[in-house]
Amino acid sequence: MAATGLGESYSLQTMNKEDVNEQAMSTGNHYPKETAKKHHHSSRSSQSSDSSRSSRKSFRLDYRLEEDVTRSKRGKDGRFVNPWPTWKPLVMQNVLKWALMEKNNSNIPGSKEDLDKALPVVEPYFIENPSLAGKTKAGLRVTWLGHASVMVEMDDLVFLTDPVFSQRASPVSFMGPKRFREPPCTIDQLPKIDAVMISHTHYDHLDYRSVVSLNARFGSELRWFVPLGLLGWMQSCGCENVIELDWWDENCVPGHDEVTFVFTPSQHWCKRTAMDDNKVLWGSWCVLGPWNRFFFAGDTGYCGAFEQIGKRFGPFDLAAIPIGAYEPRWFMKYQHVNPEEAVRIHIDVQSKSSVAIHWGTFALANEYYLDPPFKLSEALERYGLKTEDFFVLKHGESRDLNINNEAFE
């Protein structure tokens, strides 16, 4: 059986009818190609050119149309609910139909040699050249560490999103979704990390062993940014430097108050145990610095949040947007975007460049394992965008943005 991660594998197997709220979104309302091109290219002209990035900008957050943003909501039982009209509760009947009746078309090769050819894992640059980490000056560098885990270097900070270095997305080491591509590095091989952003509690995004290991290595010098409701769990892992935020709340890393971390909405859900459904909020993250802006979509179905985020905080220099775990659409579309919807998010948040995440690491749904980047390329062509506008990295590969020959120290 394919799995959606425990939150989305074990969670679905153990829940009752109230355990998960999943829901639908119309697949219509696509941007016409000319509209997409105009919208996307307008974001390019609205920021300074690379040549103007040699010194810090005079920077101030622009809170546009604050009254138009959607706030988090709780039901009568105190648990968080999705406020989007694109969301409907999912009944147990549909969970069972997906689990028992749908064919798994992932067809992941059993041979490591075949996987190495199709999805190579490369050694991250910082293993051989650790002194280069964080030395981007006015530029930005992103390294894909697999699934939704990326390392971003920008504005004198190095931070991770949803770090998962374990072999399984599971509460136990002997069962649950197993990664078919290894992490490109260990936690001990990482450079100094200043911050970690957690999008939600599903096991393929919040991994206990990785949290404990990161805390053991970096201790209180590492700041954790987490959704509302997760503070107690983080403290139980031994983490001390934890900031818990609601949607649209903001904070910073000590000593780097010129860079603002904002927790923003998405359409998803949370679950780690049989009884904790949606006690923790879920969402996306914006990192707003004087030189660069970064958006991390986390895990999400398509909804109106992204236009709000783009209007308030865009344009972004880089966005990390999920493209995988989307089939069958009748079931997955409420919680996971497909590649075309990922392109729509790229446009909505007004991102100059986006990197594809949430694919090629765990088999969490039913699509062919190499389809996500192929379908992404097709969607970009339909929207009149280029492959470099929304790119795919190898596991462990990095890409530099807004960096010229004088960018490195």
Report whether 204 belongs to an annotated binding site: yes
Residue 299 annotated as lining a ligand binding site: yes
Q: Is 268 annotated as a binding residue?
A: yes
Is 203 flagged in the annotation as binding? yes
Tell me whether residue 395 is annotated as binding. no
Contacts of 195 (CB under 8 A, 6+ apart): 157, 159, 160, 222, 223, 224, 225, 253, 261
Give the CA angle between residues 93, 95, 98 to the nearest 5°.
Answer: 110
Distance CA 165, CA 394 (A): 16
Tokens of 130: 């650790």
Task: List Cα–Cα distances, 374 to 147, 186, 215, 248, in angstroms.
Answer: 17, 29, 37, 34
* Structure token digits, residue 288: 């707003």
Consult the annotation and say whether 41 binds a ligand: no
List, in sequence order, every residue forming a beta bridge with 142; answer none if it has no partner. Answer: 152, 399
Please name which of 363, 361, 364, 360 lies closest in space to residue 376, comparing C-alpha atoms: 360
Strands, sheet with 195-197, edge to edge from the N-terminal-most edge strand: 242-245, 223-227, 195-197, 157-161, 150-154, 140-144, 398-401
In contact, 257 and 291? CB cutoff 8 Å: no
Would you say 179 and 167 are in contact if contact means Cβ atoms under 8 Å apart?
yes
Q: Tell how far CA 128 is from the center of its chain.
A: 27
Is 257 annotated for ligand binding? no
Whether the Cβ atoms of residue 221 and residue 215 lie closer than 8 Å to each other: no
What does the alpha-carbon distance between residue 369 and residue 373 come to, in Å, rounded to a whole number? Answer: 9
Residues for the chain: how many in total?
409
Residue 39, marked binder: no
Nearest one of 298, 400, 409, 407 to 357, comparing CA atoms: 298
What is the signed CA dihedral for 195, 196, 199, 205, rounded to 10 degrees? Answer: 170
Where helices occur in 201-255 by DSSP H, the ranges are 208-218, 231-236
As given in the structure block, the two tokens for residue 117 are 């050819």
End-to-end Cα, the chain, rounded Å: 50
332 is in an annotated binding site: no
Residue 275 assigned as binding residue: yes
Strand pairing class (250-253; 398-401)? unpaired
Any binding-site annotation on 202?
yes
**Binding site feature residues for deoxycholate:** 271, 275, 363
**Binding site feature residues:** 200, 202-205, 268, 271, 275, 299, 336, 358, 363
**Binding site feature residues for Zn(2+):** 200, 202, 204-205, 268, 299, 358
